[in-house]
Amino acid sequence: MAAIEILPGIYSVGVQDWKVRNFHGHTYTTQRGSSYNAYLIVDEKIALVDTVYGPFAQELIENIREIIPPGKIDYIIANHVETDHSGALPSLMQLCPKAKILGTAKCKEGLYKHYYGDWDFQVVKTGDELKLGKRTLTFLEAPMIHWPDSMFTYCPQDCLLMPNDAFGQHYATLKRFDDQVDQCILMDEAEKYYANILWPLGAIILKKIEDVQKLNIPIKMIAPSHGIIWRRDPEKIINAYLSWAKGKTDKKIVIAYETMWGATEKMARRIAEGVSAAGVEVKLYDVAESDRTEIITRMLTSQGFLFGSSTHDNDMLPNIAAFLEIVKGLKPKGRQVGFFGSYGWAGGAVKEMQEELKDCGLELNPLSMSVKYAPDKEELKACFEFGNQFAKFLK
């Protein structure tokens, strides 16, 4: 993709990754691809904010070349070490070996441990400034949003915030701005990004947004390092983050299960009907067949989860086990959770699922339900009641 001027003298020079379907070691499916955004600021001095994933280094360099010879870059702002934003650094630094890299102390350490480059690095802290000419860049450390090295860069002359991963979306498109794309897709991808990457960091995110609000700095544009730039209504995504970080939920339940011969699935379907009959919205997913990233996204604003599994070797089935491992890591505090499943001669799945999630901040509901072999008519009626009663626990 060619360079695009997003503000006078500021160019989006990043790349679209139309093909990527798995991110972060297959923990995140990217059905709409992604983009690695980088921003070139041309003033008396020239700064590049972030780079791109290594395989796209040449495309980044060509995009920069449309504006200036890369050798003219004076500063590279490294907001984040992760390779999707720093992978092109070694190639780029060959073309501008005298450029100074600016980032946090953790960034210095992390970049060195990734690339072992003999580069001129200046450590910056919150409040430090870099004068480019008419423009200034101000830095704001943002540790654990989402790595220890993370940092936001702000340009006060344009009220432009470049927060790297924060407020991003895995969404490949040749459109660059929020007012140019479908709002439902945009917000769904932003929510998916938050749910699958940032959910466990809610308290830190909340504090950081509050800190930024206390600084009283105007923000007219947010240019993240993935996806679309927010210019029409940056408050929209800030408010969405505040809501997600505060753990705001709706009266909704996600049921996620795995079934061996269909008995647990029969239970799940009747449980869902019971939930729905209580006036609560319900989504039902067979984890062996469904997109895990999508399920996690739907869980973010749900007040309750019901997990089901057939028993196999006195334990839960492998796909639900892998799914609960991810759920545990997301630390989804404050939601009600219940369990169900069928078994043959000895149970185990329900107990193992409870055990797996007992310490991750969920409220384990006293209700759970097990059925021997396939459920009969009475047991299906009990499944309906189980779903109906569980739904009534929601606040």
Which residue stretch of 76-84, 106-114, 251-259, 263-271 sits at the interface with ligand FEO (rule: CB under 6 A)? 76-84
**Both tokens assigned to 28:** 């995140």
Minimum CB distance to ligand FEO smaller for 42 or for 78:
78
Least distance (Å) between residue 146 CB and ligand FEO: 6
Q: How many residues bind ligand FEO (CB under 6 A)?
A: 9
Contacts of ligand FEO in 326-345 (CB under 6 A): none
Is 114 marked active-site? no
312 is catalytic: no
- 82 is an active site residue: yes
Residue with tokens 């943002």: 142
Distance of closest approach, residue 226 Cβ to ligand FEO, in angstroms: 6
**How is residue 59 written in tokens?**
């495309």
CB of 73 to ligand FEO, least distance (A): 21
Calpha distance 379→104 (Å, rounded): 59
Which of 17, 82, 191, 379 contacts ligand FEO by CB under 6 A? Answer: 82
**Of 17, 50, 59, 84, which one is the catalytic site residue?**
84
CB of 83 to ligand FEO, least distance (A): 8
Q: Per the structure block, which two tokens stand in for 175?
A: 């459109």
Of residues 12 and 319, the one with the C-beta less far from ligand FEO: 12
Render 220-282 in DSSP notation, one character per residue: SEE--SSS-BB-S-HHHHHHHHHHHHTT--EEEEEEEEE-SSSHHHHHHHHHHHHHHHTT-EE
In the bound state with ligand FEO, the residue whose beta carbon lies nearer, of 165 and 258, is 165
Least separation in angstroms between residue 170's CB and ligand FEO is 9
Considering only 32, 80, 135, 192, the residue that binds ligand FEO (CB under 6 A) is 80
108 torsion bin: left (phi>0), alpha (psi -120 to 50), beta (else): alpha
Beta pairing partners, 302: 250
| Collapsed DSSP state (helix, strand, coil) of residue 374 | coil
Name the active-site residue from 82, 178, 352, 356.
Answer: 82
Q: Is the peptide bond before 146 cis (omega within 30 degrees of 0)?
A: yes
Residue of this chain nearest to ligand FEO (CB atom)? 82
By CB under 6 A, tell whether 17 contacts ligand FEO: no
Q: How far is the CB of 23 from ligand FEO (least distance, A)?
A: 8
String of contacts with ligand FEO for each residue 24-53, x by CB under 6 A: ------------------------------
Interaction residues for ligand FEO, span 120-149 (CB under 6 A)? 146-147
From residue 171 to residue 210, the character string flagging contacts with ligand FEO as x (rule: CB under 6 A) and all else as - is ----------------------------------------
- The alpha carbon torsion through 196, 201, 205, 206 (nearest 10 deg) reads 110
Residue 228 and residue 177 in contact, taking contact as beta carbons nearer than 8 Å? yes
Show Cβ contacts of residue 36 under 8 Å, excluding neighbours closer than 6 positions: 14, 15, 17, 51, 52, 53, 56, 84, 85, 225, 226
- Going by C-alpha positions, the residue among 350, 290, 209 that lies closest to residue 29 is 290
Is the Cβ–Cβ distance between 17 and 36 less than 8 Å?
Answer: yes
Whole-number Å distance between alpha carbons of 206 and 362? 20
Give catalytic residue positions. 24, 80, 82, 84, 146, 165, 193, 226
Binding site for ligand FEO (CB under 6 A): 80, 82, 84-85, 146-147, 165, 225-226
